[in-house]
Amino acid sequence: MGVCLWVLALSALMVPQGQASRKVEHILDQAVFCQTQSPKGEYTQNYDDDEMFHVDLERKESVFRLPEFTQYTSFDAQGALGIMSTCYYNLKILIESWNISAATHVAPEVMVYPENPVELGEPNVLICLMNEFFPPAINVTWLKNGGAVSEGVTETDFYPTKDQSFRKFHYLTFIPEEKDVYACRVEHWGLDRSPLVKFWNAEVAPPASETAQTVVCALGLAVGIVGIIVGTVLIIKGMRQSGGTRRGVH
C-alpha cells in the first residue's frame, strides 16, 4: 500500500493591543491525503480542529458540515481537485522511484456511547468513535442482536489529528429497548485481521421489590413521626420559656 499524506496549516493570528509577542489563538488548516487504497483521498478545511467543509471528489463539489458555515466562507471544488491530482502524481513517482517500505499500521481506539441520555422507547443516536488510527482506511458495521444494520447509518470523513493519525465517527439512529444489544464492528489493518467489536445495551435499573418498597415507606413514616414529636417538644419548650420571660418582666 502506498500513502502520501500532505497537511498544510494556515494560522490566523489574534494579537491583543499593547503586547509585542504574538499568540496564535485560532488555526485554519487544510488537510489533504491520497493513497492507493480506498478511499483514494480526501480534502478538508478545518477551523480549530472542527471541520468546516470537505470536497466530494466524486461529485466534485464542496460539502459544508453545517449550513451556517457558508455565511463565512466559500470554496471552489476545482481548486481541491487540482491539489489531489498533484498528490496522486507525486505518489506515483514515489512508488516508482523509491524503495519505500509500507507504513506502520496503527489500530484504532474504539468507543460506543449514546448521543443523549437513554430513555426506553425514545429515539436516540449511537456514536461509534474510532480514534488515533493509521492509515485512513477502515470498515465499520453496526450490529443489532447479532445482525447487520444498514438503515439509519451515517458517517463523517476522516479527521486528521496533529500526530498525523486519524479519527472517524459512525452514527446509528435507533430506539433503545431493554433487551436489545448493539455493537460497532471495526475492521482495520492494524487489528491483525481480527475485527474489533464494541458492545452496547441500555442499562436500566431493576424495579424495586415489594419488600424494599415496604421498607422505604416504613422508614419515611418513621422519619415523619420523629419529626412531629421533635417539633412538638420544641414548641412546648419555646412556650414555657416565653411564659417564664413574661413573669420575670412583671
pLDDT in tens, 168-187: 999 999 999 999 999 999 99
- Looking at 66, 97, 128, the residue that finishes a domain is 97
Answer for the pair 174, 123: CB distance below 8 angstroms, yes or no: yes
Amino acid at 87: C
Same domain, 24 and 82: yes
Same domain, 70 and 130: no
Same domain, 85 and 123: no
Residues of the domain holding 175: 109-201
- Looking at 201, 218, 245, the residue that finishes a domain is 201
- Looking at 201, 222, 242, the residue that finishes a domain is 201
Q: Tell me, what's the pLDDT at 24?
A: 65
Residues of the chain with pLDDT under 70: 1-24, 100-102, 204-250
Q: Tell me, what's the pLDDT at 52?
A: 84
Q: Tell me, what's the pLDDT at 51?
A: 83
Cell numbers standing for residue 23: 499568540
Q: Tell me, what's the pLDDT at 21?
A: 57
The 10s digit of each residue's pLDDT in 90-124 is 888 888 887 766 678 899 999 999 999 999 999 99
**Paired strand residues for 171:** 127, 154
Cell numbers standing for residue 46: 478545518
Same domain, 16 and 59: yes
To which residue does cell 414548641 refer?
235
Domain count, the chain: 2
The backbone torsions φ and ψ at residue 163, rounded to the nearest 5 degrees and listed phi first, read -95, 15
Q: Tell me, what's the pLDDT at 133?
A: 95
Q: Tell me, what's the pLDDT at 10?
A: 47
Q: 3-state SS of 147-205? A: EEECCCEEECCCEECCCCCEEEEEEEEECCCCCCEEEEEEECHHHCCCCEEEEEECCCC
